[in-house]
Every structure is written in structure tokens, then in C-alpha cells.
Amino acid sequence: MPVGMPEFVENPENRCPVILLLDTSGSMSGQPMQELNRGLAAFKQDILKDSQASLSVEVAIIAFGPIVKLMQDFVTIDQFTPPILEVNGLTPMGAAIEYALDFLENRKQTYKDNGILYYRPWVFLITDGAPSDSWESAAQRLREAEAQRRLLFFAVGVKDADMNTLKQISPPERLPITLNGLDFREMFVWLSASVKRVSSGKVGQAVALPAVGWGQITS
């Protein structure tokens, strides 16, 4: 009789965890948030087209603004219902990154406890502003985790995002990307294509990601 949490007994496939770290501060109100919500729906639909990715990709959503809040715990994509995000308040980006790193470590331990292999996790941050809290220690911790190959971090700046700060937060080998307009849908389709490539390979295998056609890399 298999031993472990029911979700892993029923689906023992390798996991590809993705944390979406989303800015829901007041400046994202209106069309930006509408397009972000549409992008999340497109992300789910695109991954569902791939039977292997549907079993492997796990998504969690952490929103920040005015507080850091877990909007969606890790679930496979068939169980994922994109939340309707609402906006308010400031941009506690530093606290959100710290929360995401702790949350991810807990999930990785759960995989290990249940004998589940996992691909290098993704943390995908989207913001249109600047941190309203202290972020330096969070950035250092994030860069160390990236250097130790414990995660892949991507930062995406929307509209008037503080790209200089995002450059200081991001690992030097993966500079932040400025989104073309509000093209969240294309960004999420790219993310879907990327994690589908990852989930079709072996754990630890290097995978070439699709070209970024939805934004400009900040140099």
C-alpha cells in the first residue's frame, strides 16, 4: 500500500513548482489588473493542453499589497482556479519575497517527505511599482538561493515599475524584463511553454527556454 499524502499517492509524477508573486497594490488598479486576471486564465488553459505538464506543474499565488497574502496554495493545474485579484494599498515586496522563499522551502520538504522528485522551482514576480518596505535582505537571500540552484527567479516590470530596484533584486545572470504594454497573456503563454518544456525532461536536466517576445530585458 503506498504511503504518503493522498495527492502524491494518486499522482506520483515529478513536480515543477511555480510561485506567482503578484503585485496587487493600488497602482495596479483598472486595466493592468484586468489583463493580469485574463493572463492567469490563459496560463491554466495552455498548460491543460499538455497531459504531462498537467500532472507535474504546481502553481501557488502570493499577492502583496497592502499585505502579503497566500491566494492559492500549491495545486496541480487541473485543480487551479485562477483567483480574481483585487488591488489596494502599498507594495510590501521585500516581505513578499521572504514569504515566498519560506513557503517554497516548506513545499520542497513536503515533496521529500513523500518521495516526490521535483524540478528546479520557479518564482515569478510581477510588479508595476517600487517596494514600500525594506527589501535588501530578501534580495540577498534570493540571490543566494539562485546561485545554489535552489530556484529560478524572474522579475517582470509593468508600466512604471522601478526597474533599477528590480535589477538589484534579480540575480545578475537573469535581468528583469519590462513587459510590452499590458501583454500579460503572451507572458503567461511563454511561462506555460517554458514549464511544459521543463516537465517533459528529466529532473536536473538543462532546458532551453523559448525566446522572450513579450518584453524587453533591462540592461
Task: Check residue 66 and give its pLDDT.
Answer: 93
Q: How many domains does the chain have?
A: 1
Q: What's the pLDDT at 204?
A: 86
Span 4-29, pLDDT tens digits? 788 999 999 999 999 999 999 999 99
In a domain, 118, yes or no: yes
Q: Within a domain: residue 1? A: no
Nearest to 189 by CA among 38, 66, 54: 38
Give the single-character DSSP code of 132: S
User: What is this structure's pTM?
Assistant: 0.95
- For position 152, which CATH number holds? 3.40.50.410
Q: Quote the CA–CA distance of 150 and 144 in Å, as a whole number.
A: 9
In a domain, 188, yes or no: yes
Tell me whether residue 66 is in a domain: yes
- Under the banding of pLDDT at 50, 70 and 90, the label for residue 218 is confident
- Complete DSSP assignment for 48-73: HT-HHHHHHEEEEEEEESSSEEEEEE
Question: Which residues span the domain enclosing 202?
Answer: 6-217
What nine digits make up the cell of 93? 515586496
